[in-house]
Structure formats: structure tokens, C-alpha cells
Amino acid sequence: MATSLPYSAAERRPGLAFNKSTLMALAAISLVGVETFSGALRYFLDMAGASALLYVPKAACLALFALELLSARLSRGFWLALLLLVVSSMLGMLHGASPSNAGFSLFIYSPLLFGMLCGAYLQQRRQLMVWVVGLCLVASMLGILLDKYTSVPWKGYSYNLGDTTLRGNQAWSAGGTDRLAGFARMSTTAAMMMAIYALYLTAFTRSRWLMGLLFAGTFGSILLTTNKSTAAAFTCALLLLPILRRPLLCRLLFVLVVGIGLALPVMSVLLDFDGHATTGDTVLSSFYDRLVNTWPMVITAIDREGWGVTGAGLGMIGSSVALFPVYSAQVPAVTDNTPLYLWSTLGVAGIVLFGALLPLLSGLAARRDWMSGALMTVTFCIVLISWTTDVLEVPVAALFLGIAVSHLLLRPAVPTFELYLRDLSRDPAFPTPRPL
């Protein structure tokens, strides 16, 4: 005898669905907030003896990812990527890494994994997200000004977590100019977060005057950090906005940007660059330093160990090595290039993963709505920054990259999300997306 349920599958317990989306949004908001104020928070929390609280948002992202993994319907490609992480962890331990190395690397990637699997819930709470992102952008700008004109107590501060000494805020200068970080840990992450926040807010900004003010304030603040790569990437992302209606030109730009990111480390080995260019205080001195020293050193180390095809494994590259040193192999922890970072860790599979940014960018550009356009420019900016930075270890960049993947894979046929969008379209207070 068949029994009938009091509600359909699409209407099943909307209160629980609401609470779940709110919980996911709170985890993302806590991560964005902690990373925005990371430098100052490390100082004040260490004074209170509660430094470990800084890691709660990432732990929450990892826990919610694992919880959603139990019930989500995933594609074979996603399961294959997770299997790749497991195999890479085992390979890393075979090469000398400890379980702590592999576990901490997974902990670092938790914002990316969380954004990919739980990004749909964040879309449901995007009104809350946009307010938090906007406030964090304003706070970052004010922090840069505060750092420039006053003496903040957390500048150059380091603290101890167990037996390990960690840097709370990096105080350094380039060419005699102080590199301002504001409330963040480093000027690089501060500049990157401001660029990502501003580009994300374009999905909710309809006034051209307000958008111009947003871009001008963000660009000026990035210049104060003296981070040249982020300033250039942000400018290129803004120049992409007027040509979004030309799909062929956009795709050519995507191929060029991803291709150059892959080619730069190869050029550092094949071509002979002037080593004296790294000693000056010119605009490109740090870039030349990567071409002459950093990238060839990483490639030589991986090739010497014979890991060019499989990679060194999870836990052998990046921040986990700095926290839990591996003495069995002399491999630099920092690569300063995301394709090189992925190749060093995952081998050929890492190159394939970086190449997957091409369909991601093209797919977002083809959707022609405000949110897709904003996430496409965010991803484009992150790819440009990845030429000279290990962006996967920047939590905010990894989170928004995961959200972009989730947004592209989101199917409108999901009943609860479809009903939610229908309710939003009836709400006059919410800006309805329109074609770009």
C-alpha cells in the first residue's frame, strides 16, 4: 500500500534548508572577516591567549564541506579530483611528508573545497554576503590609511602557537617605500582581497557613478600597498568589462592569460635572463628575481628528485612545509607561480587543473548575467595574479574561485533554488539581474 507524504520533495522542510544556507553563509562570512582583519586579530587574540581561534573559520569550512559531501550528488569528475587529493597525500607521505603535512595542506585548501561544494547556499544568502564584502572592502581601505598615517601595534608582530613561531604581520619595504598591509597580514593579501571584493560587488552595483567611485577607491588603495601585480591584474579585469559582449575576443584573452601563466616558468629555464636586473629597485626587479632565481630553483629541485610527472605530493609544497619541515627532500616551499605550484604538487594533473580555468572563464562569460560577469572578472583577476603568487594559499581568493566553479555548475532545475530565485524576482528591494 502506497503512502503519501504531507509535502513534496521540492517543499520538504524549508526551515531546515534556510538554516543550512545561513550556516554556510556564516562560515564564509567568518572566513572573509578573519582574513580581512587577520593581522590585527592575530595581535589582539595572542594578547588574550586565544590565537587558535583564528583557525576556526577554516575548520568550519572543512567540516561543512565534509558534511555536505555525505549528501550531495556529485559528478564523476569531482570524485576523481577528491581521489587525486588522496593519492597525492599518500605520494607526499611516501616522499617524506608526515600526516601533519598532508592534513594541514587539506586544511589550507578548505576554502576552495567549501566554495565549490557549498557555493549554491552562499548564492541563496548573497544579500548578506554583499553587505559583509562591502564592509570588509571599506575596512581594508581604512586600514591602509591607518597603517600609512599612524603606527599600528600589530605591524611586524609575530606570535607562538605551540612550539612554532608564526608571523602575525609582515613589516617590509620595497625601494625605500613601506608596503602597507592595513589590518591584514601582508600587503600582497590586502591588495588581492580588495581587488576581489570590488569586482564581486559589480554584480550588485547599477549606478555608473557608484561603480566608478568603487573602482577608483579600490585602485588607489591597492597602489598604496605598492603591490604592482595586483594593481595590473585589477586594471586588466576592469578593461575586460567593456568587451564582455564580444565572446570571441574574450576567449582569446582567456587563452592568452592562462597560456602565459603556464609559459612563464618554462621561459625562466629555457631563456637566459640578466641576473643583474634583480638587484635594482625597478618596477620589474621582483619579477626578474622570479625568472632568474625562484622558478628555475623550483623546477631544478623537482626534476632532481624525479617528480616531474607525479609531483612531490600533497604536503611537500607550500605553507605546510614551513610549519612542518620535511628534511628528506630540499624543495622550496614557495613557488610564486600557481601553475608551477600545481605542477610541483600534483605533476601533470596539476597542469590539467590549471588548464581547466579556460572552460571556467568561458562558461561564466557565456552566461551573460550580472553575477556570472562579476565572478568571471574575479576569476580573471585571480588568474593574472597567479602568474606571480601561489593564490591557492590565499583563503579569500580560494573561496571566490570555488564559488565561481559552483556558480558555473549550478543547474537552474534544482527546485528549492528555483523557487528561491522566483521569490527574489518578486522582491522590489533586491536588484534583479539583467543581461550584460
> What are the pLDDT digits (tens) for 317-376?
988 888 888 887 788 888 999 999 999 999 999 999 999 999 999 999 988 788 899 999
Percentage of the chain surpassing pLDDT 70?
A: 83
Q: Which three cell numbers stand for residue 74?
A: 556529485
State the pLDDT at residue 172. 59
State the pLDDT at residue 344. 94
pLDDT digits (tens, 9 = 90+) for 57-79: 999 999 999 999 988 888 888 88
**Alpha carbon distance 322, 316 (integer Å):** 10
Q: Which three cell numbers stand for residue 410?
A: 549550478
Q: Check pLDDT > 50 for residue 420.
A: no
3-state secondary structure of 241: helix
| 164-181: average pLDDT | 63
Q: Which segment of 12-16, 215-219, 320-324, 420-424 scores lowest on mean pLDDT?
A: 420-424
Q: Check pLDDT > 60 for residue 194.
A: yes
| 165-179: average pLDDT | 60
**Alpha carbon distance 75, 72 (integer Å):** 10
pLDDT digits (tens, 9 = 90+) for 111-140: 999 999 999 899 888 889 999 999 999 999
Where do the H-state alpha helices sit in 332-414? 338-346, 348-355, 357-367, 370-385, 395-409
State the pLDDT at residue 77. 82
pLDDT digits (tens, 9 = 90+) for 256-282: 999 999 999 999 888 877 666 555 555
pLDDT band of 409, cuts 50, 70, 90: confident
Q: Check pLDDT > 90 for residue 232.
A: yes
Query: Cβ(371)–Cβ(203) under 8 Å?
Result: yes
State the pLDDT at residue 426. 42
Q: Check pLDDT > 80 for residue 417.
A: no
Compute the mean pLDDT over every residue in the chain, rounded to the nearest whole number. Answer: 83
Query: Cβ(356)–Cβ(338) under 8 Å?
Result: no
User: Between 177 and 427, where is the model more confident?
Assistant: 177
State the pLDDT at residue 411. 59
Q: Check pLDDT > 70 for residue 212.
A: yes
Q: Check pLDDT > 80 for residue 299.
A: yes
Convert 135-163 to b/e letters by CB count within 10 Å (16 or more is b): ebbebbbebbebbeeeebebbebebeeee
State the pLDDT at residue 116. 93
Q: Check pLDDT > 90 for residue 108.
A: yes
Q: Which residues pair with 160 in a beta bridge?
A: 165
State the pLDDT at residue 429. 39
Q: Check pLDDT > 60 for residue 305.
A: yes
State the pLDDT at residue 245. 79
Q: What's this model's pTM, rounded to 2 decimal places?
A: 0.87
| 76-91: average pLDDT | 90
State the pLDDT at residue 171. 59
pLDDT band of 234, cuts 50, 70, 90: very high
User: Between 74 and 379, where is the model more confident?
Assistant: 379
Q: Check pLDDT > 70 for residue 161.
A: no
The C-alpha angle with vertex 234 and arms to 175 and 339, in degrees rounded to 5, equals 85
CA dihedral 194, 197, 202, 205 (to 10 degrees): -100
Percentage of the chain surpassing pLDDT 90?
A: 50
